[in-house]
Amino acid sequence: MEIENKMEKIVSLCKRRGFVFPGSEIYGGMANSWDYGPIGVELKNNVKQSWWKRFVQGRDDMVGIDAALIMNPKVWEASGHLSAGFADPLVECKKCHTRFRSDQIDVSAPCANCGAKNSFTEARMFNLMFKTFVGPAEEDANIAYFRPETAQAMFVDFKNVLDTSRKTLPFGIGQIGKAFRNEITPGNFIFRTREFEQMEIEYFIPVPVRDEEWKDYFEMWRQEMISWMKENLGLDMSHVHELEVEAADRAHYSKRTIDFEYDFPFGRKELYGLAYRTDFDLKNHFKEPPYRDAQTGEAFYPHTIEPTWGVDRSVLAVLCEAYTEEGERIFLKLPPKLAPYKAAIFPLLKNKPELVEKARAIYKDLQNNFMVAWDDRGNIGKRYYAQDEIGTPFCITVDFDSLEKGDVTVRDRDTAKQERVPIAGLKEYIASRLK
């Protein structure tokens, strides 16, 4: 499949089937804003739930929070986001006024938009914070910012979390939520947008006496991130690459950063990051050391390892990985756990009330445990096709034998094989395959 073609096909499938729509479309859209539709929100929620289950619910050394999007502006002074640290270099074409990130283009080449030569302004740093006003008066005293990362709330709430959860080091705080950045060049569908979601962990460790100590925790999270991509997202790890970020390219707070890059159809790009933030953030936010060792009574600033995941990039990587064409057949080979619907239920014939009634009862019963779809339109082949396109792992058909023998045909998305399964055992059948 041609690479550009693949991305176009994915974008078109997303729109056609209700994964992702262009935002505000009836008003001509809003550049680079996207809305998750009925199928997409299920996929996205499954990614988030899978993350929460693995990294918060499933670990004794983790707790979660859900903090405000607009925080006190002092947070962003302390974190360094309001200074030059959180800015990208911007150049503008003097002829057509299109803006570019100067670190992403060759500024000696003609403008990619209008072709003008030697047309770029000097680069200037452009801060990515999204500004707003709190309250009715639009004056400087009321300026506030939408958070550019979820991370800072985990630092700012550190003491409250500590006092209420009584965790001891090492432990982490996790959060899933929206972040906002006034990106100069958003693009590539949901890859780079101005409003996006993150899943982040700040993992607090004792002050490392030797480098090995933080390196061990860093390695633990590196392995966890690899394992998440393999086991939870089902990515082929030959499509994932680790990039050791050079000191000059690291964020202002980081002593070491690894980017996990993924081979998207539009190129190899950052999927996730892992950073050692030292004690930079807690020191900037707390005048007094916020942690006291229970044994020695010594107070100090814990250090932080930060694994960070983009939700939308996870969804995009999963879609790129799952998109499969076999002849005329298009299907999404999604990991069953992430699939929007776990099963679809069909009565063989729409005009046979006894089949519809039986199928409806099965559908309602399964609905208590799983997201399930109902389809009674067209022939069975068309229904299979429609479910394959949205990655439903199992299609269940209720036929005349079902009425007599109490079983149904279950057809597997990936192999297209069919088997008879007793109705009484359907829940266990589906649950056992949601790995």
Query: Could you list the residues that contact ligand GAP (CB under 6 A)?
Result: 149, 151, 181, 183, 192-193, 196, 198, 200, 270-273, 306, 308, 310, 312-313
Q: What is the distance between the terminal CA atoms of the chain, rounded to a whole angstrom?
A: 29
Whole-angstrom distance, CA of residue 65 vs CA of residue 198: 13
Closest CA to 409 of 393, 400, 396, 425: 396
The contacts of residue 202 (CB under 8 Å, 6+ apart) are: 151, 154, 155, 172, 173, 277, 281, 304, 306
Beta bridge partners of 198: 177, 310
Closest CA to 350 of 322, 392, 378, 313: 378
Identity of the residue, 265 or 347, whose beta carbon is nearer to ligand GAP in the bound complex: 265
Helix segments in 18-81, DSSP class H: 38-52, 73-79
Beta bridge partners of 398: 347
CB of 85 to ligand GAP, least distance (A): 12
CB of 193 to ligand GAP, least distance (A): 5
Q: Which two tokens stand for residue 198?
A: 């993150």
Whole-angstrom distance, CA of residue 225 vs CA of residue 54: 11
Identity of the residue, 120 or 191, whose beta carbon is nearer to ligand GAP in the bound complex: 191
Helix (H/G/I), strand (E/B), else coil: 421: strand
CB 233 within 8 A of CB 316: no
Crossing angle, helix 426-433 and helix 353-367, to 10 degrees?
50
CB of 370 to ligand GAP, least distance (A): 29
Identity of the residue, 192 or 337, whose beta carbon is nearer to ligand GAP in the bound complex: 192
Whole-angstrom distance, CA of residue 240 vs CA of residue 39: 26
CB of 148 to ligand GAP, least distance (A): 7
Identity of the residue, 258 or 343, whose beta carbon is nearer to ligand GAP in the bound complex: 258
Identity of the residue, 263 or 388, whose beta carbon is nearer to ligand GAP in the bound complex: 263
Identity of the residue, 202 or 407, whose beta carbon is nearer to ligand GAP in the bound complex: 202
Helix (H/G/I), strand (E/B), else coil: 224: helix
Identity of the residue, 309 or 346, whose beta carbon is nearer to ligand GAP in the bound complex: 309
CB of 339 to ligand GAP, least distance (A): 22
CB of 302 to ligand GAP, least distance (A): 17
CB of 289 to ligand GAP, least distance (A): 22
Identity of the residue, 91 or 151, whose beta carbon is nearer to ligand GAP in the bound complex: 151
Whole-angstrom distance, CA of residue 201 vs CA of residue 173: 6
Helix (H/G/I), strand (E/B), else coil: 253: coil
CB 19 within 8 A of CB 9: no
Identity of the residue, 274 or 348, whose beta carbon is nearer to ligand GAP in the bound complex: 274
Q: Which residue's Cβ has the minimum distance to ligand GAP?
A: 310
CB of 251 to ligand GAP, least distance (A): 7
Q: What number of other Cβ atoms are within 10 A of residue 402's Cβ?
A: 23
CB of 253 to ligand GAP, least distance (A): 9
CA-derived radius of gyration, the chain: 25
